[in-house]
Amino acid sequence: MNSKAEQDYWTASAQSFKWQVKSRTVQVSDQDITEIPLGFQPFGISSLGDRVLITDYFAPAVCMNRVTVDGNTLRFEVAWIHGAQNGITRCRGGFPDMAYPSGANRCCTAFFGPDCKSVCIGRLDREFFLLVPEDSAQWHLAARISLPECRDFPFIHSAALNQRLNLLLTVESDAAMNKWRLAPYMWHEGWVTHSPKFELLEQHGIPRFHYGIAYLRGEPVTVASSHSVRGPNRTDPGIYIDCKLVVPGIVGSGICILPNGGALVAAYGQEEEGAHKGNPGKLIYVPPALLQYE
C-alpha cells in the first residue's frame, strides 16, 4: 500500500463485499491477445496507473483491481464496491434510488476522481455519482456530478479523466445510437462538495458503437463493438488509435491502458450472436506489441 488513503479504499471495498476473491493470476502472450473469462458482465473499464476499475453492469457494482504484468504473468489484486452510504440508506451499487424506464440501475462507467482515491460511477445518463472511502471502512456517496444537458446526445457510454489537464473525455450518443461523438469537458471547481462547472470544448464525431475510450501516448484510443450493427453502415470491430483500426476483430465495450503499454478490453457478452444471445463476460489482454502504430 502506498498511502493511508489507498488503505482506506481497499478496506472499504473489503467491508463492502467480504467474500471477494482477493487475487488472480493469468498467463498471457506477449504477441497475441489473451481472453480472461469473468463471472460477471463487464461494461466499462478505466485505469489510473496500475489501478483498474471494471463495472459489473447488472449487479450493479464496481470491481477494483491492482494489475501488474511480470513477463507473461498478469496478476490481479481484487476488491469490490457493492454499496455506499448516503446518510439515509445504503445505496445498492453506490447508486441512489431512482425511477428509471428499465426499472433497475445499470453500472456503465467508473473512473477515479481527480483526488485519485474517490470513484465516479455512471449509469448511461448524464450524471455521475462520487463515492469516497471513509475511515469507518465504508463508502460514502458524496456528490452528484452533472454534465451540461444535451438532448441531442443524452447517453454517456464511457468516460476518461485527465487530472493534469482538468479534462473529462466522454463517449456520447443520441437516444437511437445512430450519432456518436467524443466530447471533452474542462471542469472548474467542485467534485467533492458539489458538482463542478463543466465547459464543453470542441467535439468530434466518431463511428457508431465506439464504446470505450482511453489514451495511449497522447492519442485517443477507442474500442468498437459491432454486435448490433449490420449492413453497409456496420462498424468494424477492433481497437482504433486516432481513428485508425490497429487491432481488428476485438469486440468490446470498454478499454484501458496498463503501465506496460498493453491494454485491457472489457467484453460485454450479453449481446453476442449465439442462438441464446449471450455468453459470459470477459477481459481481453492486448500486449504492447499489437498496439504499435505509425
pLDDT at 88 over 50: no
Exposure b/e, 226-235, CB count within 10 A at least 16 = b: bbebeeeeeb
User: How confident is the prediction for the chain on average, in pLDDT?
Assistant: 83
Res. 93: pLDDT tops 70: no
pTM > 0.75: yes
> CB-based contacts of 9: which residues, under 8 Å, 6+ apart?
64, 117, 119, 133
Asked if residue 106 has pLDDT above 80, the reply is yes
Better-predicted residue by pLDDT, 190 or 27: 27
Confidence of residue 50 (pLDDT cuts 50, 70, 90): very high
Q: Write out pLDDT tens, residues 238-280.
A: 898 877 889 998 888 999 999 999 999 999 887 777 777 778 8
Distances, alpha carbon 235 to alpha carbons 149, 223, 225, 231, 253, in Å: 28, 11, 7, 9, 13
- Nearest residue to 107 (alpha-carbon basis) of 264, 254, 256, 283: 254
State what percent of residues in the chain have pLDDT above 90.
Answer: 44
pLDDT at 10 over 90: no
In this predicted structure, the answer to whether residue 112 has a pLDDT above a threshold of 50 is yes
Kindly state the helix (H) or strand (E) to which residue 197 belongs, with its residue range: strand 197-200
Q: What's the confidence (pLDDT) of residue 294?
A: 58
How would DSSP label each residue in 128-178? EEEEEE-TTS-EEEEEEEEPPP-TTS-EEEEEEEETTTTEEEEEEE-TTS-
Instruction: List, in order of start, the domains of the chain with CATH numbers.
Output: 4-291 (2.120.10)
How many C-beta atoms surround the C-beta of residue 248 within 10 A? 11
Contact 240, 290 (CB under 8 A): no
pLDDT category at 9 given cuts 50, 70, 90 is low
Amino acid (one-letter) located at 234 = R
CA distance 112 to 105: 20
CA–CA gap between residue 158 and residue 38 (Å, rounded): 20
Mean pLDDT along residues 151-176: 91
Q: How far apart are CA 210 and CA 73, in angstroms?
A: 29
Q: Which three cell numbers stand for residue 43?
A: 461494461
Measure the CA angle with vertex 196, ends 143 and 90; round to 5°.
10
Asked if pLDDT for residue 3 goes beyond 80, the answer is: no
Q: Which of 166-170, 191-195, 229-233 has the lowest mean pLDDT?
A: 229-233
- State which of 6-10, 101-105, 135-139, 230-234 shows the largest mean pLDDT: 135-139
